[in-house]
Structure 1
Amino acid sequence: MKKVIMIIAVAAILVGCKGKGTRVQISDSVDKFKVEKLFVVDSITVYRFYDQGNAIYFTNRKGRVDATHSEYNPVTHTYNDEVNETLCEGD
């Protein structure tokens, strides 16, 4: 019985991790990407969009934008995360 409860709990957690975000309005996007607002922590909003099937995550706060890109390596069966940071001049 404990194993069944544990399996159900783990399955619920894994399914919950793939949840959808909230759609946000697209303003200056040339390609009309569908951007989702995932969550807000300490006044920093985390967004996600898909580019050619790849999930792109980014944060937005004044003066700084971070974008994370993951690539799967089929040889080593691992993911490589690349973070691109852009520092913007103040207004």
Structure 2
Amino acid sequence: MENRDPDDPKGLIREAYKIDGISDGECRSILVDWALSLPPEADQPAVAARLSGRPGYPVDHPMSILLAAAATPGAGGTGRRGGRAGRLAS
């Protein structure tokens, strides 16, 4: 049995780097699947930072760019709340 990487339990990130010509959209989809495969207690920004800094992962690859963005705590969040909580927050 193959040793599992705790930072990439399903090997999704590793495999993304092996796909020639992978698009940004495909990497985004893989990144979501990767995030969902981590245990709930995982510090996703810290794990993304470790993965983005791995030797052999080209810095100009679409996955490297997305991992670097994911390594920033609060990345992508607007702080906006929707639904009833958003309407009552003023």
- Does TM, normalized by the shorter one, top 0.5? no
Pick the TM interval, shorter chain.
Answer: under 0.3
Larger radius of gyration: 1
Would you tell me which structure has more helix in proportion to its own residues?
Answer: 2
User: Taking CA–CA contacts closer than 8 Å with sequence separation of 6 or more, which of the two structures ends up with the larger relative contact order?
Assistant: 2
TM-score, with normalisation over the residues of structure 2?
0.26
Task: Kindly indicate which of the two structures has a greater share of residues assigned to strand.
Answer: 1
Question: What TM-score, normalized by structure 1, do the two folds share?
Answer: 0.26
